[in-house]
Structure 1
Amino acid sequence: MLTVGGVLHDAATEWPEKTFLYFGDEAISYREVDERSDRVAAGLLQAGLKPGHRLALLAWNQPEWLYTFFGAAKAGIGVVALNVRYRKAELEYMINNAEAKAFIGIERTPDFDFIEFFDQNRDLFPTLQHSWFIGDGADEEHSFQRLIRTIPDPEMLGDAERHVGPEDLVILIYTSGTTGRPKGAMITHRSILASARAAVEHFKIERDDVFAGHLPMNHVGGVTCTVMEALWARAAVVLVPSFRPDTVLEAIEKRRVTVLGGVPTMFTMMFAWEGFPSRDVSSVRLTVAGGSNVEPQLARELARRFSGCEVANLYGLSETSGACVLTRLGDGVEKVAKSIGVAIGDFQARIVDDDGNELPEGQVGELMIGGACVAKGYYGMEEETRQAFPSPGWVRTGDMAYVDSDGYLYVMGRKKEMYIQGGFNVYPVEVENVLTSHPGVLVAAGIGVPDPVFGEVGRYYIIPKPGIGVDEEELIGFCRERLADFKVPKQFVFVRELPLTPAGKVHKALLKEQFLKEHSGGA
């Protein structure tokens, strides 16, 4: 019976002194992570939490996050993963939606004091019974250091672990909220381990591999595609508190990172950082881009900048607990630039119409994923669960795609991102791929906006490359040479930055919302 705590204990038994985590100058072994998470589990149980309860966790990518995650998993307590950038509205909604019994988090960020916030707003969180803070500023009662010093009672801990099963909740990850209110995807021990195992086998991850751990832990990119994959393979993770091009590249050079994942925005920022050429990145054998479309130009740039390494595409969602579709090793840059890959492990992919009927090869429809990686649904949202998870083990992704005769999948964009210009369907990702192939374009993001003549037209936000001039007329001509006339954007907006979701994707729903506010009553 596989559980997250059980897999950690097995790894610590097999390789007790092997490094699991690097953090700053510290190397933390599998044995140390296992023992420290035992103490957290014991502390939670002695405080009165029980299997089936939920605990809200808010911290940087740091060892305490993982001690808590693994400790809660051993105690049968589901972690509610929160982002350090969340403030009152998000915290109140997610903690109460999840009915969390306890909170563990950092004391403060440069612009927000979490100790003060929870002390002054106790009435906002009726289910919270305990709070512990990571650092030296909390009193003894609320100190995480006191919690982690708990001496485990073997009988109490053993009894809790015996009650933990593969179908139990291990982590609740909220969707980024690009549309509507955030939904908490119920990821189980079984589903997170299924995704991690399939990816490790697909990419041939080994004990000697070292992952860069800069993707946020409150997202599957950080917890599944980094930490859990490393755990399954008995590999190591270099924890980087949060993404910054210089700190990630420093970690790569210092710890000889071999596996580097990231969303396209992160790679673009790395390449734009002036210090990149001076860093030694020769240890990287595999770069994995996921989270949103990988434009052809970025795929080629990855192969050039990380010379000699494999470039891969990753597709996964909170609802699939992590990766579920990957390109194959050896596919080459041109394949990666076009396809998100094939279903991995024993997972399945279907392309369906609005009624759920499977469509033939080459026809665009909604992508559905089936298999052990699929989450149990959304916590406390029966109707949303029914719509997204039409049958056990299957999820509607909301992405429009098609499949070829070899089983390779090609994503055209979010179902809700498609717009109809003059009666023709337009998928922004196709246009964005063309725009980012222009030498003067760094980032492109398109949305459909209302138009009195065409019904909807494409509005594309452009971040130009530094030092290279580009204007609307030039981009229109560039697109006309490469796209059907109905796909050519009607509007361009040149910007210095774009809003991002917590996972690092361009926040297109917010762009649309801002446009509608600015043009309410107008065009």
Structure 2
Amino acid sequence: MSEIIQASTVGEALETAASKRPGSPMFYYEDKEYSYASVNETTDRVAMALLNMGFVRGDKIGIIGLNQPEWLYMYFGAVKIGVVITGLSVRYRDTELEYILNQSETRAVLTLASLGEMNYVSFFEGFKPRIPNVKEFIFMGGPGFKGSFSFEDMLQTEIDKTRLDQAKAAVEPDDSIMIIYTSGTTGVPKGAVLSHKSQMASARGQAVHTSTCPDDNVALALPFNHVGGVTCGVLTSLLGMGKYILIPMFSPDHIAAQIKKYGFTTASGVPTMHALVLMNEAYQALDLSQCRMAIVGGSNADDTLLKKIYDSYPNARVMNLYGLSETSGAVVLSPWDGDFETTLKSIGKPIADFEVKVVDESGKEVALGETGELCFKGDAVTKGYYNMPEKTAETFRDGWLHTGDMGYLDEEGFIYLRGRKKEMYIQGGFNVYPVEVENLIARHPKVAMVAGIGVPDEYLGEVGRYYIVPYPDANPTEEEIKAFCKEHLADYKVPREIVFRAELPLTPAGKIQKSKLEEEAKEGK
């Protein structure tokens, strides 16, 4: 049985791990090893630097960075003293940054000096008037503008232990720790307010369920501004005192090279990541028998991909993972003793002591086997949305999170996902959940990726339009795909429109961004 840290705050968890396994690697980055003790000490310096700058419990700081040590140093340093992290992405540009930084009332930003063609120094120097709440700009990897701060200088801060300990002692489990904005698959982004308690509850539930231990190693490519990277990856590993490889940006070649150097026990990512690494020749050449667990999360995985994962890792338990920003991370995983045939159909069962129910439009529980909205309850559920009382009241009711995901329960307690409530379209009076059709189309041997939406139709109200990315050198036809669907689906579920694409828009978390497809459809594209 693995030992799982039982701390009540994230800072306490890191300090416990550093005391128990000081010299053990916490993570690897660019061919260098970072121990638990060194990370703990460095993050104390960052915490002290923030105190010297006048930061107090409840202040917010956004991070624009890759999966790199500096991101983790700021995260752990800030939360040790009650400063809240605002999740930002390197993909965000002026519209998203203006909205999120203002809506969250963020005080400071830690950012790369530049990335690719994006010069953040000149960008923020001219952008300051549009984000009046942001008082401090901290740059890493290069000099900033006049009046800004250097993160490298913060790392050299001398520690006043008495003052630092006082700030740490004031942090409570119910304190906010992060504001993570929904990835924008629908509507205006909402900032889910995670607490130490909620983030730790999800991470602990996953660590216990997966028996995370010091021998474990996982390549972390999911971005840290989302729960998939920070909770399911960083904190789950921390509580089991395991280790991970920081993958700055998703790259199958880089992942393969790092795993070849450091090994791995866990393959983890959203379906698109799994599909792409398993198509990579360097990855296929690795010893995949060392992997004990393959976890697929973030969105519904089709059974063709799950079978490929099952066949690729001969000694691994394949698990689905379900979680949301609003649950701080995982709340559902496939059980260890479940058979693979069930894993192909079901996302699993609630972990830890998290509860699930399925309700109809009026909020009344439905019978087993009947489709309704999935609702969850437990310590992992977040406080609500930042400065959005109406949206909070609509989504968080009587301790239950109403997810907007449709599904049903069977008599054994397995959860079956049917798709997003708002994604459902009504074709000729029949309810159609795109995920069901997507899962079928994904089985077609010529289809690499697929996403479906409902579009207006003069006669049927709405019809299904499915966007397909074929495999290289495969040339499926519209008639071929429709014939395949007719063979396996009720006629009202068969797509009326097929659109072939070279690629599909993705959110920063790697999910297919249907809102972009819906926007294009409205514009007649």
TM-based fold match above 0.5: yes
Match of 1:34 among 37, 40, 49: 40
TM-score by length of 2: 0.97
Match of 1:432 among 429, 435, 438: 438
For 1:368, what is the secondary structure of its paired residue? strand
Q: Return the offset for 1:330.
A: 4.1
Q: Aligned partner of 2:274: which letter?
A: F
Q: Among the aligned pairs, what percent are the same residue? A: 45
For 1:224, what is the secondary structure of its paired residue? helix
Q: Return the offset for 1:98.
A: 1.2
- Answer yes or no: is the 8 Å Cα contact 1:253–1:281 preserved in 2: no
- Answer yes or no: is the 8 Å Cα contact 1:296–1:334 preserved in 2: no
In structure 2, what is the equivalent of residue 127 of structure 1?
Answer: 133
For 1:282, what is the secondary structure of its paired residue? helix
Q: Is residue 2:265 matched to residue 1:265?
A: no
Bigger mean CA offset, 262-271 vs 130-139: 130-139
- Answer yes or no: is the 8 Å Cα contact 1:21–1:237 preserved in 2: yes
In structure 1, what is the equivalent of residue 496 of structure 2?
Answer: 490
Q: Return the offset for 1:469.
A: 2.7
For 1:337, what is the secondary structure of its paired residue? helix
Distance 1:125 1:160 in 2: 28
Q: Aligned partner of 1:181: which letter?
A: V
Bigger mean CA offset, 190-199 vs 203-212: 203-212
Q: Is residue 2:136 matched to residue 1:99?
A: no
What number of residue pairs does the alignment pair up? Answer: 518
1:119-174 Cα offsets, whole Å, 9 max, x none, are: 12221121112111111333795210111111111121111111110010111110
Q: Return the offset for 1:180.
A: 1.8
Match of 2:156 among 149, 154, 175: 149
Distance 2:284 2:248 in 1: 23
In structure 2, what is the equivalent of residue 298 of structure 1?
Answer: 305
In structure 2, what is the equivalent of residue 206 of structure 1?
Answer: 213
In structure 1, what is the equivalent of residue 378 of structure 2?
Answer: 371
Q: Aligned partner of 2:27: which letter?
A: L
Bigger mean CA offset, 275-284 vs 214-223: 275-284
Distance 1:444 1:96 in 2: 35
Distance 1:141 1:465 in 2: 47
Distance 2:127 2:519 in 1: 30
In structure 1, what is the equivalent of residue 365 of structure 2?
Answer: 358
1:185-232 Cα offsets, whole Å, 9 max, x none, are: 101000000001111111111111012111100010000000000000
Distance 2:218 2:38 in 1: 19
1:334-373 Cα offsets, whole Å, 9 max, x none, are: 2222110001100001101112111110000000010000
Distance 2:12 2:441 in 1: 48
TM-score by length of 1: 0.97
Alignment of 1:63-462 (within 5 A): 63-138=69-144, 142-392=149-399, 394-462=400-468
In structure 2, what is the equivalent of residue 479 of structure 1?
Answer: 485
Distance 1:29 1:274 in 2: 32
Q: Aligned partner of 2:462: which letter?
A: E
Distance 2:328 2:66 in 1: 20
Distance 1:362 1:306 in 2: 32
Q: Aligned partner of 2:458: which letter?
A: P
1:462-509 Cα offsets, whole Å, 9 max, x none, are: 111222331111111111111111111111011110001111111111
In structure 2, what is the equivalent of residue 507 of structure 1?
Answer: 513
- Give the gaps of 5 or more residues in structure 1: none
For 1:127, what is the secondary structure of its paired residue? coil
Q: Aligned partner of 1:338: which letter?
A: K
For 1:121, what is the secondary structure of its paired residue? helix
Q: Return the offset for 1:306.
A: 1.9
Distance 1:87 1:438 in 2: 37
Q: Return the offset for 1:329.
A: 1.9
Distance 2:127 2:425 in 1: 43
Distance 1:331 1:105 in 2: 44
For 1:481, what is the secondary structure of its paired residue? helix
Distance 1:349 1:251 in 2: 38
Q: Return the offset for 1:110.
A: 0.8
For 2:523, what is the secondary structure of its paired residue? helix
Q: Aligned partner of 1:434: which letter?
A: L
Distance 1:11 1:275 in 2: 34
Distance 2:276 2:22 in 1: 37
- Answer yes or no: is the 8 Å Cα contact 2:113–2:141 preserved in 1: yes
Distance 1:332 1:217 in 2: 32
Distance 1:235 1:79 in 2: 23
Distance 1:149 1:130 in 2: 18
For 1:386, what is the secondary structure of its paired residue? helix
Distance 2:260 2:242 in 1: 17
1:1-21 Cα offsets, whole Å, 9 max, x none, are: 711001100111111111101
In structure 1, what is the equivalent of residue 61 of structure 2?
Answer: 55
Q: Return the offset for 1:92.
A: 1.1
